[in-house]
Amino acid sequence: MDDYPLLNIFLTTMWIFLWILWFMLLFRVFGDLFRDDAVSGWGKAGWCVLLILLPFLGVFVYLIARGKGMGMRELARAKDAEAEFRTYVRDAAGAEAKPAGAAEQLARLAELRRDDAITEEEYQRAKALVLQ
């Protein structure tokens, strides 16, 4: 323990944290680059070459040039995903919802009884519940 003082432990932890942060930022830039439809194929190839050959400069230039758009594109993607989720939930709930009116429920019960899905006793009990 004497060979590695507390300050060195702190500095090592900081460098590991910065290394992980750098890779997260690099992946975020690559992800945004490939998800953006406004950039042409040649533009994406150019950015990739810059990001691979000069990664620090490439990331910083990308953030300066396209940083504001990154946030707006991410927000738009999140809103689209939420709208799709809400539509899916609404459609799924509507498809499996019980019939609203008593007449519709009685018709559904009669159909189940006719198909022998429920017994006569179950039919009468359910019918009594609907008519209450």
Residue located via tokens 């799709």: 84
The structural domains of the chain, with segments of one domain joined by +, span 6-97, 99-132
Distance separating alpha carbons of residues 59 and 29, to the nearest angstrom? 7
Q: What is the pLDDT of residue 62?
A: 93
For residue 39 the two structure tokens come to 């950039």
Predicted model pTM? 0.57
The answer to whether the beta carbons of residues 69 and 77 sit under 8 Å apart is: no
Contacts of 112 (CB under 8 A, 6+ apart): 118, 123
Distance separating alpha carbons of residues 43 and 34, to the nearest angstrom? 10
List pLDDT tens digits, range 66-119: 988 998 999 999 999 999 999 888 887 765 555 567 888 888 888 888 988 888
Distance separating alpha carbons of residues 110 and 104, to the nearest angstrom? 10
Residue located via tokens 């900081």: 14
Contacts of 7 (CB under 8 A, 6+ apart): none
Give the pLDDT band of residue 31 (cuts 50, 70, 90): very high
